[in-house]
Amino acid sequence: MKARKRGSRKHAKPDGQNYVFRLFVAGDESNSSQARGNLARLCEEHIKGRYKIETVDVLKDPSTAYENRVLVTPTLILLKPLPKVTVLGNLNDTKQVLAAFRLTLVEL
Amino acid sequence: MSNQKLPYRELETKIKEAEELIHALRTGQVDAIVGERQVTLVRLKQAEEDLKNSRDQLRALVANMLSVREDERALISRELHDEFGLALTSLHLGLSWISRKLTPEQQSLQEKVRSLSATTTSLIRSVKNIATDLRPGVLDELGLVKTLKSEAGEFERHTGIRCMFKTNAAQAKFDRLAAVAIFRIVQAALTNIARHAQASRAVIALMKRTKVLILTVTDDGKGITRNPIANHSSLGITGMRERALALGGTFAISGSRSKGTMLTVRIPLSRIIVGRNEGGATQT
């Protein structure tokens, strides 16, 4: 019981936004749509209430993508907590994505 | 110490990013490439799928068209045989009856009747040939193996090109539509030999293996060149290929000046054999 409380304090933040993601997509293209859906599902399942997702559509805003050195879509960048992590692709591989965001051991 | 490590870490990160990028591209998980001035959509995978779907639809359409055409040919063949054949035979019998009733003095009438009778006989033969060409009755009556044997004999008689037929599937019972498809492939192959091969000898082989039926038609002619093989307007070859593919099989044709032309069709037994009859070799 105590351990669980400590664990929850470890990730709790006053503003409720421990994880900040920026997802670069290309409109409603197949991989982009999958990435959107997969990210929303993963966040709801593993860090519910503690995440924020900013979505950038490169078809409407290519300059932001270029400034962020995004080469392809979909690209997901974990901005917070640091260090920054970048994951490419449609995020279908749940285990890989969770591992990349250092969520595997804590949350699974 | 940490400053010395920095370039290595950066390099390591760059390599990891490059590997991820390659993986994403290879696995078709990228749908746009972001450039300084423009974004390029990557729809190669979708385009490939669309192309495959389009081909599949076209193939199904061709298979359906071939099937409909065979049905229509069979119908026309039956109509020709039943309607014209019967009427012409009656006419022929009537002319014979009149001929018997004429007296020796009616010389000019006798000649006219004889001439009409000869024309009628010729018409009966023509109708029979057209009906047989449209739908070889022997295929329904005697089956594929005997029909191919007969076709080889006819081909030899008409063209003077020695034609041999061999098989180890004499006792096999073939699906009706599949038998028609194989027969038409052989017909088209023999037509090509007669028209283009300049061959002196042809061999048709229908061999049953464990899981496939292999049809080969070979000749000792000048050998097919690449152009007609690749040319999609070469309807004979396209038709043969489509018939083979419609049966879940494969089609290949190759040629060389020294060896002539070899056509090979492989069809899964499950798509062509009815029942479990085995063996029985035939050679002509």
Please give the residue of chain B at the shortest CA–CA distance from A29: B31
Out of A31, A86, A92, closest to residue B17 by CB: A86
Please give the residue of chain B at the shortest CA–CA distance from A33: B31
Interface ipTM: 0.74
pLDDT (0 to 100) of residue B57: 82
Q: What does the alpha-carbon distance between residue B224 and residue B252 come to, in Å, rounded to a whole number?
A: 12
Burial class (CB in 10 A: 0-12, 13-18, 19+), B179: buried
pLDDT (0 to 100) of residue B185: 93
Pairing of strands B201-208, B250-256: unpaired
Round the average pLDDT of chain B to a whole number and report it: 84
Q: Does residue B72 or residue A8 have the better pLDDT?
A: B72
Q: Do A65 and B31 touch (CB under 8 A)?
A: no
pLDDT (0 to 100) of residue B49: 78
Whether B34 and A58 have beta carbons less than 8 Å apart is answered as yes
pLDDT (0 to 100) of residue B165: 96
Specify the residue for token string 């080889």. B152
pLDDT (0 to 100) of residue B230: 64
The pLDDT of residue B52 is above 80: yes
Whether B40 and A58 have beta carbons less than 8 Å apart is answered as no
* Host domain of residue A87: 2-107
pLDDT band at B229 (very low <50, low <70, confident <90, very high): low
Q: Which helix (H) or strand (E) holds B121?
A: helix B107-134
Q: Do A72 and B34 touch (CB under 8 A)?
A: yes
Domain count, chain A: 1
Does A32 touch chain B if contact means CB atoms closer than 8 Å? Answer: yes
Q: Tally helices (H) and strands (E) across chain A.
A: 5, 5
Residue A50, classed as helix, strand or coil, is coil
Does B39 touch chain A if contact means CB atoms closer than 8 Å? Answer: yes
Please give the residue of chain A at the shortest CA–CA distance from B21: A88
pLDDT (0 to 100) of residue B45: 64
Q: What does the alpha-carbon distance between residue B20 and residue B29 come to, in Å, rounded to a whole number?
A: 11
Mean pLDDT for A17-34 is 89
The pLDDT of residue B235 is above 60: no
Q: What does the alpha-carbon distance between residue B115 and residue B247 come to, in Å, rounded to a whole number?
A: 50
First-to-last CA distance in chain A?
17
Mean pLDDT for B137-146 is 83
A53-75, pLDDT tens digit by residue?
999 999 888 888 888 888 899 99
Does B9 touch chain A if contact means CB atoms closer than 8 Å? Answer: no
The pLDDT of residue A106 is above 70: no
Contacts of B34 in chain A (CB under 8 A): 24, 58, 62, 65-66, 70-73
Whether B274 and B174 have beta carbons less than 8 Å apart is answered as yes
pLDDT (0 to 100) of residue B182: 94
The pLDDT of residue B203 is above 90: yes
Q: Do A71 and B34 touch (CB under 8 A)?
A: yes
- Domain B142-283 adopts which CATH fold? Heat Shock Protein 90 (3.30.565)
Across-strand partners of B261?
B255
Q: Provide the percentage of residues in chain B whose pLDDT is more than 90.
A: 32
Q: Do A74 and B36 touch (CB under 8 A)?
A: no
pTM given for the model: 0.53
Q: How far is CA B75 from CA B66, B69, B137, B181, in A?
A: 14, 10, 12, 17
- Contact pairs from chain A to chain B, CB under 8 Å: 66
The pLDDT of residue A3 is above 50: no
pLDDT (0 to 100) of residue B227: 72
The CATH number linked to A90 is: 3.40.30.10
Across-strand partners of A87?
A76
- The CA distance from B17 to the nearest CA of chain A, in Å, is 8
